[in-house]
Amino acid sequence: MIGMMGWFTVGLLLVQERAYDWGWGMHPMWGVWGIGMMLIMLLFWGLIIVAVVLGIRWLVSQGKESRSDSALEILRQRYARGEINKEEFEAKKRDLI
């Protein structure tokens, strides 16, 4: 049985046309497919990095309140409605700022 397996293995080796003889010129990563795979890999990792950065920026911005100066906004509204004149508006604005 073992002898038969040995002859079978030798027979398989002899049947092959040639041994594994790829040189650098025949390496599959040097062709168009290799360049395409490299570009797709760079695009993939670029998208992953951009998504992580945008996600972190979004999470950081969620903790901050939108800080609008509500007192100045109320003052502007009162001036627009005509409740106060320009001199009062400018004086109160200087006080607030």
Q: Where are the domains of the chain?
A: 31-60, 68-97
pLDDT, residue 57, reads: 93
Residues 6+ apart with CB under 8 A from 97: 72
Instruction: Give percent of the chain with pLDDT exceeding 70.
Output: 62
Highest mean pLDDT among 22-26, 27-31, 33-37, 77-81: 77-81
Is residue 5 predicted with pLDDT exceeding 70?
no
pTM: 0.41
Query: CA-CA distance, 79 to 90, in Å (whole number)?
Result: 10
